[in-house]
Structure 1
Amino acid sequence: MNKTMRGNSRGMTLIEVLVAFVVLSVTMAAILQIFSGGMRNARLAEGYNRALFLAQSQMASVGQEQKLAVGESSGSVGDGLHWRVTIDGYDDEGAVERYALTQRLYQVRVRVDWHAGDGQQRQVQLVSLRLGPAK
């Protein structure tokens, strides 16, 4: 009886070991690909968050730190973000009647550009209407 059991339990064959290794390799490759995709998306989201924060900050400064008048201003921050604020007059036919020429609508556009880690140019843009003095 011992001879029969010993003959059947010789261990794994070489082909079984190779198949197990291939299955393990394919599984690990898929897991690493999913992980690297998640990291890439996290870096991209972090870039959008930084750009959005800068755009919101620039939008909030219009009319406070920056004069609300037709024109452009631009600049950059140390981490590769470039911003541009564009202020244009906004023509609203009813505005003349409502504000009796003392106030004017301005369209404020803030755009932030940066180069993402994937080498592509990315941008965030905010647009708002502001009420300010007529000139």
Structure 2
Amino acid sequence: MRPDARGFSLLEMLVAIVILSLSLGALYQAATGATRNVRTAERYAYGVELARSLLAQNAQVPASGVGEAGETASGYRWEVSSELREQARGSRMRAQLHDLKVVVTWADGSKTRQIVLDSVVEAYR
């Protein structure tokens, strides 16, 4: 290069463009991953709230137990089931208790996600 030449050489410009493209590619991947994580978190939050709502609806179950299933318009499948809980012999508890299980599943791309909530509830006659 001549001593009085000003500016950048072609090689310097190519190196700068390569560095810029690598940086932009990494930035794009980070933004895409963050968006995907937010979407997954929103779906989990909806699944948990649906399961909690079903748990609240079944705070008491029939003595015969409960077994229900359904699906929301947005594709979340749910199932509520209960089984009689064995009580210790000589227990003074008069109430009948059931183990309640709420399962919510949904498709997330190629994966199937699932939330399971368990509780103990009182049975009515």
Q: TM-score, with normalisation over the residues of structure 1?
A: 0.83
Tell me how many residue pairs correspond in the alignment.
Answer: 124
Check conservation: 1:68, 1:87, Cα contact below 8 A. Answer: no
> Quick one: which of 71, 75, 83 aligns to 2:70?
75
TM-score, scaled relative to structure 2:
0.89
1:75-126 per-residue CA deviation (whole Å, 9 max, x = no partner) reads 01100100000111111315x5222xx311100000000001x320000010
Pairwise CA RMSD of aligned residues?
1.9
The alignment status of 1:130 with 2:117, answered yes or no, reads: no
Q: Counterpart in 1 of 2:30?
A: 34
Q: Which residue of 1 aligns with 2:107?
A: 115
Asked whether the 8 Å contact 2:59–2:122 carries over to 1, the reply is no
- More strand per residue: 2
Between the two proteins, what is the percent identity of the paired residues?
31
Counterpart residue type for residue 92 of structure 2: R
Could you list the runs of 5+ residues in structure 2 that have no partner in the other structure? none
In structure 2, what is the equivalent of residue 11 of structure 1? 7
Higher helix proportion, which one?
Answer: 1
What secondary structure is seen at the aligned counterpart in 2 of 1:8? coil
Asked which structure has the greater CA Rg, the reply is 1
- Aligned counterpart for 2:79 among listed residues 73, 84, 91: 84
- Which structure has more relative contact order (CA 8 Å, sep 6+)? It is 2
